[in-house]
Amino acid sequence: CDLLFCPDFTVLASRKSGPDKAEELSAIDSCEYIWEAGVGFAHSPPRNPTFDTNRTELLKLLLTCFSETMYQPPADIAQNPNKWILHLTSAENRHALPMFTSLLNTVSAYDPVGLGVPYNHLLFNDSLEPLVEAALQILIVTLDHDTSSSTPAESEDLSVPDNLFINYLSRIHRDE
C-alpha cells in the first residue's frame, strides 16, 4: 500500500522531492496524500494523468490478488479468508483510512465529460475513468468481505473491527 501514496509516483509531493530511499516510504503520513477532496479531506490536489495511470495499475494488481477468493469453494472462504483483503482492511494497514477515503472520494467525485455524447472515447482520452472503475471494484470487494462473527455475544466486544472499511462507511454522517 505504500506505493499508492508514494510521492512523485502516485501522489504529488508536498515538499520538493519524494523520499530518497524506499525505506523512507514508511515514514510518510498518507493522510496528507488523499487523492481527491470529499469525505474527511477538503483539499483537492491537481490532476495528473501519470499518477492516475499508476494508481490504476496498482489497484488492478490488488484486484488480481483479491481474485483468489473466486477460485475457492464457498465453504472454504469462511475458514480461509483472503489474506490480501484482510490486510488491506485491517488495523495492521496504516493506510486503511486514507485508502478508503481516497477510493470513496475518487468514485464519488467523478464527473465524466461528454456524458451522453456517443463515441466520446474517440474524442478525448480520460485517464480518470479507468481509475474510477478500479477504485469502485476495490470498494465493492472490500466492503463485501465481512469476516465478523454473526453471533451477537461475540460481536458485542469492544475490540477493533475486522474490516475497517465497513466501520468507516458506517461512521460517515453529514453535519447540517
- Identify which of 5-14, 25-34, 81-90, 158-167 has the greatest average pLDDT: 81-90
Structural domain includes residue 21: yes
Number of folded domains that form the chain: 1
The domain of 85 spans: 2-110+122-146+161-171
Structural domain includes residue 102: yes
End-to-end Cα distance, the chain: 34
- The residue-averaged pLDDT of 67-86 equals 86
pLDDT-wise least confident of 30-34, 35-39, 53-57, 63-67: 30-34
Structural domain includes residue 24: yes
Contacts of 52 (CB under 8 A, 6+ apart): 127, 128, 130, 131
Whole-angstrom Cα distance, residue 80 to residue 16? 44
Structural domain includes residue 151: no
Mean pLDDT score of the chain: 80
Structural domain includes residue 79: yes
Structural domain includes residue 156: no
Is residue 130 predicted with pLDDT exceeding 70?
yes
Structural domain includes residue 117: no
- The residue-averaged pLDDT of 126-140 equals 92
Number of other residues whose CB lies within 10 A of the CB of residue 18: 16
Structural domain includes residue 18: yes
